[in-house]
Amino acid sequence: MTLRTPDGRYIVVRGRLWRATNPHLSEAERQRLTNELMDARRAVKAARAAGDCAAEDTAHRAVNLAKHALGERGAVWWDDGAPDMNRKMARNTPYADWFRHETTNDG
């Protein structure tokens, strides 16, 4: 089970917040971009295995483009002025109390 913040902006992996995919994307667009992301990640792996630095750089750029299009990087997809907490430890953010509650036995 993936832990998601109550506002849906982040998923939590090993206590760290990672920006979630923009929920305003259509399912078809989200799936297309996710497929592009997975293809790009496979290309990174293949380029590394082949020792092809140029191909790896190209593949990393494709990963970055897909993550931007999904809303996981770049400008935030929400418009209420809340800051981006991407990559921060949940315990060091305004989500700390929520996270503590979700990860304790009595939560």
Per residue in 45-102, pLDDT (tens digit) is: 999 999 999 999 999 999 999 999 999 999 999 999 999 999 999 999 999 999 999 9
> How far apart (Å, rounded) are the C-alpha atoms in residues 83 and 81?
6
Distances in Å between the Cα of 27 and the Cα atoms of 3, 21, 33, 78, 86 are 21, 11, 10, 18, 23
> Which residue type is seen at 61?
R
∠ CA 58-60-64, nearest 5°, is 115
Q: Measured at the alpha carbon of residue 105, what is the angle toward residues 104 and 107, in degrees to the nearest 5?
A: 65
pTM, entire model: 0.88
